[in-house]
Structures are given as structure tokens and as C-alpha cells.
Chains A and B, each alone.
Chain A
Amino acid sequence: MSEKVLCVTNLSKQYGDMTAVDAISFEVHAREIVGLLGPNGAGKTTTINMILSILEPSSGSIHVEGMDIAKQRSAALACTNFAAVYAPLPGNLTVYQNLKVFSLLYGVQDQGHGLEVLIDRFDLKPFRNIKCGLLSSGEQTRVGLAKAMLNQPHLLLLDEPTASLDPAVARDIRLKIREFVTQTSAGVLWTSHNMYEVEAICDRVLFLSHGKILLEGDPKILPREYGKKTLEELFITVAREPLSLENT
């Protein structure tokens, strides 16, 4: 197995009496796309927020490229990036301005040619000098993905990256992300509610339910192991009857 880019150990988050994430442990390896699946409120976004260090864990540890995020936050985040539909880039800056500002924040060396290549790769040339707030949600998603790849991250966190894209663009984006992983040896943690997409792109999936990892495995094999025809059927079972799987 290739080197670990993300190592999460006994990670928990509690809000008073409510446990959002309950002692989960998992790893993401280089060149691996891991799907973090689960119903709404399962703890996926909470987990991603803790990896991004904008939410402090109640206990446990997170290591990115061997660096403890609690102790080496800046260095760990310099080789991490993310895209999420709920975190659009500032709408009052143009596509180029946003990418320029974030390239500085992430310490990108090649800010001239590198930015233009990204703008081209995500078909953003016609929108280069347009304010992000004026773009459609799909176009904004593409800008967010371009920002997420600015620093050639070793760890890429994608929270429903294709949620607002039409099927053709979504497929194109999936191919671009797969290509990025192959070329850069990055590891990706990917959340999605689109099981077709997860089956197509993820090498491994983790099913979260009530803050715990319930199942883990290859998305193409996992449904059969639990007597389900499809990943979607398995997802629905996780969402509605998690106990039936815990006892399996």
C-alpha cells in the first residue's frame, strides 16, 4: 500500500451531550479516492471541518502527510485543499482575483502560468474577469475546484463537489479529479449522495452513521457483501436501519 496522506485516529466531536463524531479512525493513501458516505447529519461535514482545522476535535488526532494538524496547522494545510458547495469563493472578486489571492495564501510558486492553466483546465476562460457572484452555481463550483487544486494538494477534501453540476459537466469534473490524482499522487476524501458517482470514482468507501464508521470497503463489492444489489440500496439501509448492519 502507498504512503498515507491522511491518518485520522479516534476522532470525536461532542457538542454538550450530543456526539457528532464518535471515535472514528481511517486513513487515506496517496493516489486513493475515498468516499465518505452517510445520511444527512451522520458527521461527514463535521469530520471534514476538523481535518481543515476550522473545528477543534473533542479528542483524537489528525495527521496530514505525517504532520499533526493540531501542532503544525499551517504546514499541514499548505499541502491540503478543499472544495464544498457551502463555501463559495467571495462573489465580489473575479475568478482571476480569487485564484490569485488564494494562490498567495497557499504559497503557490507559479502564479502566472499556473493560474492560467487552471483557468483553462476548468473551462473558466470566458469568466476569467467576471465576479464569481455573477456566475451560475455550476460555474462557481468549477471555480471552487480550480481553487482546490491551486497548490497541487497532497490531500484534497471534496464535499459534494458535483452537487450543482449537470451530468455531463459532473462526469467531466470526475475525470479531471481522477486525472489529477493519477498525475500528482494526491489522496482524496470525497463526500457525495450520488451513489452512481461514488461507485464510478471511489476506490474505497466509508459509511458513517450517527458519527461512527459502520462499513468500509470497495464500493463495487460492498453491496454484495451485505446482500444488497446496489450501493444506493446499501446507503438507504445505512440511513434507515443501521442496526441491522451493525449486527451483520
Chain B
Amino acid sequence: MTTMNLKRIFAVMLRQFYLMRGSFSRVVPLFAWVAVDMVLWGFLTRYLNVSASSGINFVFILLGAVLFWDFFIRVMQGVTMAFFEDVWSRNFLNMFASPITIAEYIIGLVVSSIGMTLIGLTAMILIAALCFGLSLMVYGMMIFPFLLILFLFGIAIGIFGCAIVLRLGPASEWFIWPIPAFLSPFVGVLYPISTLPQSMQHVSHLLPPSHVFEGMRAIVTGGTVSWPLLAWSGCLAIAYILLASWCFTRTYQHAVRTGLMARYSVESLS
């Protein structure tokens, strides 16, 4: 059994830090898109609060949900972006001919993602709170399991995205960016899962964010959060991380066996 080497994990993180520090164009997107989302949805929810007479505070339901969903996207993209840096700079040969293990590399990507996500999350919380009066305190202590589940699922999808790009080649990164958009109808970011047809609801129950958004709406509308469902979604998210890591490892082994790793920059789907 190989022990984890913290220095090698730190190396992956430090590389990402160097890149961020020296690149305006890498830093701005970390908070620019989420800021745009907060402003857009903030004004929409303010309008809905005024025009609809439902008595529901849409800021807590919709803006809060968009904030959570953007958090998930940031986590996922944090992992994939750190991986894409190796793809874009054709660094696989140097990286994987070093003593780093796959587990250390993946953990390095995850740690890099945490740093990048925190920047985006801070920007979102500030804009939502200062401009639109959204306080995350409205969700109480449940904010922690909510964010944890979204974080874990973001990590899982990020690692899975890396495996896809490793398997299909650099151009396949365009399969990765739309993944959150494909998932969003199923997880009920903006509406209750019960709105969906039964067949889509089956899929929703297998996606951890669905239970987070259901729980979030329950709190805001005075209902109760289902702990068993939340625990189930946490277990699901962990299972997806293990599954995604297994996928990445198998894809890596395939790339090493077939020679794809040695000539990765060449577009090839063997």
C-alpha cells in the first residue's frame, strides 16, 4: 500500500496557484459569471416578490437555489479546470512520469478546486446579501450539509469529466462544460421535483442535489427537511466520488496500456 505524499498533492495545488496568480483571465471568470447570475436572478426574484401575491419570498427560494447550484458548478469546474491545465500545456508526460500517484493527483485537483470555489462562493454570498438581502442564515445549520452534499457531488462530476477528457482526447472538453445544464432539469433547482414527470423523478432521486433543493424549499416554506433523504444523498455523493475515481483510474490504466498517455496531445480515440 502506497502512502499519500502531501508534497506531491501540494505540488498540484501550487501549480494551480501560480497559474491563477499570474493570469487575470483565469481569476475573473471565478467570480464574474456567478456575479452575473446573482444580479440577474436577484432582480428577477425582486420582481416576482412585488408582482406575485403568493406570500413566498422568492429571494430565499430562487436566488438561494441559484447560489447553491452555482456553487456546485464552481466545484465541478474547479476540478476540471485544474485538470485541463495539464491538457492545455501538454504536461501529462512530465506529470505522470513523476512519482505522483493517481490518488495524489486527484486529491491535488480537489484541493485546487476548493481554493477556486471559495473565491466564487464569497463573491456570490456578498452580492446576494448586500444587494438582495439573501442571508444564508435563513437555512440555519442545514446550510452545512447542503453545501457538503453539493461539494461532494461537484467533485464526483468533476473527476468523471476528467476521465472523459482523458479517454476521448483534448477536444472532448466541450462535453464537460454543459454537464450542469444537462443535470439541472432533473435536480429541480428552480422547481419542486414533483413537477417533473414520473420517469424524470426516478432519475432525480439518484441525483444528490435534488434532495438538497427539496430540503432548501422545505425550510423556506416552513416544512421539515427529510434527514433520511439527506443522508441518502450524502451517501450517494460519496458513492459517485468513488465511482468517478474508479473511472478515472481505469481510463488512466487504459491510456498507459494503449500508448494514449505517451501521445496524448495527438487527437486519438483508440
Contact = CB atoms under 8 A, between A and B. Distances in A.
A39 B160 CA distance: 40
B13 to A, nearest CB: 10
B18 interface: yes
B18 A97 contact: yes
Given A90-B89, A93-B19, A104-B11, A77 B94 contact: no
Contacts of B259: 15, 49, 55
B263 to A, nearest CB: 9
B101 A74 contact: yes
20 contacts: A45-B262, A53-B97, A55-B262, A56-B253, A74-B5, A77-B97, A87-B90, A88-B90, A91-B89, A92-B19, A92-B89, A93-B18, A94-B18, A101-B11, A101-B14, A104-B14, A105-B7, A105-B99, A106-B98, A107-B7
Contact of A74 (B23, B99, B256): B99
A105 B89 contact: no
A194 to B, nearest CB: 23
Size category of the binding interface on chain B: 20 to 34
A75 B262 CA distance: 21
B175 to A, nearest CB: 24
Nearest to B2: A74
Most central of B89, B99, B253 by chain A CB within 10 Å? B99
A54 interface: yes
A88 to B, nearest CB: 8
Closest 6 CB pairs of A and B: A104-B11, A90-B89, A52-B97, A87-B93, A105-B98, A74-B99
Interface in B11-69: 11, 14-15, 18-19, 22-23
Interface of B: 2, 5, 7-8, 10-11, 14-15, 18-19, 22-23, 85, 89-101, 253, 256-259, 261-262
Size category of the binding interface on chain A: 20 to 34
Contacts of B2: 74
A88 B8 CA distance: 20
Contact of A89 (B14, B94, B256): B94
A13 B24 CA distance: 45
Interface string A64-99: 000000000111011000101011111111100100
Nearest to A91: B89
Given A92-B19, A105-B8, A55 B261 contact: yes
A102 interface: yes
A84 B5 CA distance: 26
Given A56-B256, A107-B7, A107-B8, A49 B99 contact: no
Contacts of B89: 90-92
A174 interface: no
Most central of A73, A90, A105 by chain B CB within 10 Å? A105
Most central of A75, A77, A84, A104 by chain B CB within 10 Å? A104
A77 B99 contact: yes
Contacts of B256: 53-56
A91 B91 CA distance: 10
Contact of B15 (A82, A88, A93): A93
A220 interface: no
Interface in A226-244: none
B217 to A, nearest CB: 43
A104 B8 contact: yes
